[in-house]
Structure 1
């Protein structure tokens, strides 16, 4: 079987742009909706609402944060109790609408407080974290207010589910600066990124929106999604290595 392709930042950006081109005809709203649904489904697969009902959804100001807002809404629909930490809201209309949709679902958004006190309080009363802070376009250093928040999230002891690339990681070289989160679960979108080749936790792929023609053009070699699921679980790193030895 041909190996799944891992993407560098340039290629990931190129695929996103092509998906939203006139030829492929996807809108940003559509892609965020499908990505956010996949993230919510992955979290629900890894952490049941019976044992992990309280989800802290941490959102950045870009498209990654938009995916997180969509996921929060779906998690609320799934019966979880999400809370949103969104200290630097995106300024575009799409982010305002996504946040309003969450407000309409009575999903609370934390107030910004000095010394991240609201975040500290939320971490103490949550069961699992959805990390939707930084995406594949992240460039160091980590700036305020996230520079102080990432260590708090990392030190919380809570399980973390990261969207596409763990926040603080270099998209091609991984957690080379040592400032990124170390999630237990990763949900790669469209195709996994180069920096997560050695990710050892549970790894899901979400992106059941890539047209076959686009998959073939970029030789993505995507796995088959089961049934009507929006995600497919990828083999763990050690499992892949063992398979290659056989």
Structure 2
């Protein structure tokens, strides 16, 4: 069995990518993503861990402007709904935030989960049936980190209803949309996450989140 060791420089490069990953909204450039770069990013997503090795993900590449406009309309509907859930002060702050780059980015990628891909019984999903959904989210994270390593920005459009995404992209009812991602080259990356920078919430102290043996 071959043992692949990670060098210190490789380790440091990984942590640099990890700590400089950002949710990008307004900095997208229109430049197309070269096919070889895009395939490396998708290959990284495809190598995410998956329960029972079921690999439940599919990737819908969305370039057509008319399709992206449907996604944008769906975002605006959900965005308006969300604004009403905050108190008056927070509502105004929320409305002033840029929370998507659907039309600004040159490409959208929808990652889905086929919950029946390898049949009804899956190793590792017997006690916790939602594990396949978590696997698909791992593919999102892999894609995001790989994109950052390629100096591509990614933004997750989470403020949208799943049925809107299904209808816009022709996704069958039995397939679960997991993430609609905006991806592309950017003018710059923020030093800190935008919500942290805007004072929406601070980064939690790691020590306060660590428990030993019991909660």
Q: TM-score, normalised by structure 1?
A: 0.24
Higher relative contact order (CA 8 A, sep 6+): 2
